[in-house]
């Protein structure tokens, strides 16, 4: 494993862990969930590497090895990831492994970034893999989870105003997050339409035009990405070649929830490897 610092267009240094595979057949840009540091995905990165894929594990702004921490003075949103960080990583991969096709893989929020990037930069990627990536759209949920999401939607603007950031590390949902990022997330929860403050692009229309392959991996016991919430994302890919997989607890060897799959990632890595082997 190598550690990189990649300069984005605003001079921020994106921390990336590079896992090169011997005789790699593809490169994967792996992006984390809301509030989760990149180190959490090291077992998955190693499993994918051992299956013959280069992996660029990207640290989110504000977490892990990032020099930024959200505060009233330090703010960012979806725009910085979409316009600056992800394109910079793709540029580095083009230099590092120009012969291998590049796939975007994201967990939860990382999957949303992967989906939007597919619509914005389709010529730069060979395909998209989303894992446990359900839209937070409240209409895709029911019961207790829906009530919790609606409460969270009311609390986010309040915390953003009072603190200047979102204290997810204290609330038990996400981490300490930038207020604009959570405002962008909140817009998705209310409308199921991708938006990013500071960008006027129609992201959903771009995704709808994307013609590459999509692999959607759902975990059977995941309350944060149930079937309806996953479909709210995958259904945006109206022109893509979509494959859907559900992984059970028996296949995983653990409860198939929103996070445990990344600790015992063999089942997910095997699905990804098999899917990649079927791509033209």
Mutual angle of helices 227-234 and 109-120, in 10-degree steps: 20
pLDDT band at 280 (very low <50, low <70, confident <90, very high): confident
Arithmetic mean of pLDDT over the chain: 97
Terminal C-alpha separation, the chain: 29
Architecture of domain 2-277: 3-Layer(aba) Sandwich (3.40)
Asked if 244 and 213 count as a contact pair (C-beta separation under 8 A), the reply is no
223-257 per-position pLDDT tens digit: 999 999 999 999 999 999 999 999 999 999 999 99
pLDDT band at 81 (very low <50, low <70, confident <90, very high): very high
What is the Cα–Cα distance from 83 to 22, expressed in whole angstroms? Answer: 31
* Cβ neighbours around 5 below 10 Å, total: 12
9-33 per-position pLDDT tens digit: 898 999 999 999 999 999 999 999 9
* Cβ neighbours around 249 below 10 Å, total: 16
Residue 1 has pLDDT above 90, yes or no: yes
171-215 per-position pLDDT tens digit: 989 999 999 999 999 999 999 999 999 999 999 999 999 999 999
- Average pLDDT of span 47-69: 97
What is the Cα–Cα distance from 124 to 29, expressed in whole angstroms? Answer: 12
The string of DSSP letters for 189-243 reads: HHHS---BTTB---HHHHHHH--SEEEEEEETT-SSS-HHHHHHHHTT-TTSEEE
Asked if 66 and 60 count as a contact pair (C-beta separation under 8 A), the reply is yes
pLDDT band at 5 (very low <50, low <70, confident <90, very high): very high
- Average pLDDT of span 126-145: 96
Q: What is the pLDDT of residue 9?
A: 87
Question: Containing H/E element for 184?
Answer: helix 179-191
Task: Report domain extents, the chain.
Answer: 2-277
């Amino acid at each position: 494993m190598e550690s990189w610092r990649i300069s984005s267009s605003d001079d921020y240094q994106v921390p990336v862990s590079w896992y090169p595979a011997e005789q790699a057949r593809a490169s994967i840009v792996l992006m984390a969930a809301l509030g989760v540091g990149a180190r959490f995905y090291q077992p998955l990165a190693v499993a994918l590497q051992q299956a013959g894929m280069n992996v660029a594990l990207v640290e989110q702004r504000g977490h892990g090895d990032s020099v930024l921490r959200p505060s009233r003075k330090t703010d960012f949103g979806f725009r910085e990831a979409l316009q600056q960080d992800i394109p910079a990583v793709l540029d580095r991969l083009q230099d590092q492994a120009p012969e291998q096709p590049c796939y975007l893989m994201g967990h939860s929020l990382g999957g949303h970034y992967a989906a939007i990037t597919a619509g914005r930069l389709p010529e730069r990627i060979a395909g998209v893999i989303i894992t446990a990536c359900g839209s937070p759209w409240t209409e895709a949920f029911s019961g207790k989870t829906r009530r919790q999401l609606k409460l969270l939607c009311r609390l986010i603007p309040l915390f953003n105003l009072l603190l200047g950031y979102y204290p997810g590390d204290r609330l038990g949902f996400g981490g300490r997050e930038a207020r604009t990022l959570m405002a962008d997330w909140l817009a998705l929860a209310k409308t199921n339409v991708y938006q990013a403050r500071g960008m006027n692009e129609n992201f959903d229309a771009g995704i709808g035009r994307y013609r590459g392959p999509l692999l959607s991996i759902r975990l059977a016991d995941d309350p944060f990405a149930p079937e309806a919430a996953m479909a709210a994302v995958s259904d945006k890919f109206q022109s893509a070649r979509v494959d859907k997989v559900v992984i059970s607890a028996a296949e995983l060897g653990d409860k198939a929830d929103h996070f445990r799959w990344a600790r015992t990632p063999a089942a997910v890595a095997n699905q990804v490897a098999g899917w990649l082997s079927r791509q033209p």
